[in-house]
Chains A and B, each alone.
Chain A
Amino acid sequence: MIPLTSNLTVLTELVSASALLYGGVTDAKRREISNLVPVLLLLCGLLRGDHLYRVLSLLVVALVMWVCSRLIHLSAPGGDIKLLCSLAFCVGLRETLFVMLLSLLAVWLTKRKDGQIPLCTYVAPAYIIARLFVDPSIARWTISLAFGIIYAGALIYLRRNPN
């Protein structure tokens, strides 16, 4: 649990959430995730400490992705591979799983049937909600609400103005 107690944790929270939201918007618009998103997530992970656990989480996610691609002969796009691995490094395996569960729930709720999803678009809000479960403080609720409103506004704007 990382409570919002120091400037550093607040900074990493803001940066990681902003990076994911940016990635979510670009993924929804162009089906692309900028390399800036995984780089910022990796930096946030580095600043949060407990590096052994984070590296272990990253390796587990990378290995399982490789096994998965071998099993069903489908591969994930590079942007999504980098996103999930850096997310695992940033928040650890346990929270990554929780974020994935929430994003799958969101996919199910939006009833997508095209078989391919813009991952970061779903991961970004899932991440913000997951962080709320980890540390449900008023400060985090406020930040999450602000991010949620900005993200929803950006997605609505994109839907109305696709170009």
Chain B
Amino acid sequence: MKRILRDRSGSIPLLFYGLLFALLGITFVILEMGYAFEKTDYATDVIQRCVNSAVERNMLDEYRQDGILLLDTDSAEKDFRYYLGQDVTDGYSITVDSISAYAGEADGSRLPSMTVEGTISFETLMNTAAVRYPFRVRATNYDTTDFELDRSY
């Protein structure tokens, strides 16, 4: 360290400089991509959690005891937007293109579900680019007492 602080000479080997540039470039790409993947992963997790919570909270309990799964779709949509506004941290811009909530059928032929589609946007670590990542998350409510799950989804 002392040697570096005292040494003022300034003629770098060209080979060293070229290799340094290449390695720094690779490091830069790894940092930027790693950060972008991490942020995308986090945002998708948060959105999935919001959809899950919205569906879970708005299941109509008065039918549940009879083994009928029905969802209050309007409230589920409202709750989803509320959770999204609360949970998503700064630095993200989330555009919700469509929310399709399905109440379900009383005979159990189709389960209640909610699907959200949209785009997550954020800046990369070194503000090189604005990443736009389309997402599609879905939450379905299953009756766990009935193990014959509908696997058509």
Contacts and interface: CB of A to CB of B under 8 A. Distances in A.
Interface of A: 23, 27, 31-35, 53, 60-61, 64-65, 67-69, 71-72, 74-84, 92-94, 96-97, 100-101, 104, 107, 112, 115-120
B8 A33 contact: yes
Interface in B56-87: none
Contact of B9 (A23, A79, A97, A104): A79
A64 to B, nearest CB: 5
B19 A115 contact: no
B24 A64 contact: yes
Contacts of A115: 13-15
Interface stretch (B25-33, B96-104, B107-115, B145-153): B25-33
B12 A61 contact: no
A21 to B, nearest CB: 14
Contacts of B8: 32-35, 78-79
10 contacts: A53-B125, A60-B28, A68-B16, A74-B16, A81-B4, A93-B28, A93-B31, A94-B28, A101-B21, A104-B17
Contacts of B16: 68-69, 72, 74-76
Contacts of A93: 24, 28, 31, 126
Given A82-B4, A97-B25, A71 B19 contact: yes
Interface size class of B (residues with CB under 8 A): 20 to 34
B9 A60 contact: no
Given A60-B27, A82-B4, A93-B126, A32 B10 contact: yes
A104 B126 contact: no
A115 B25 CA distance: 22
Which of A76, A84, A92 is packed against the most chain B CB atoms within 10 Å? Answer: A76
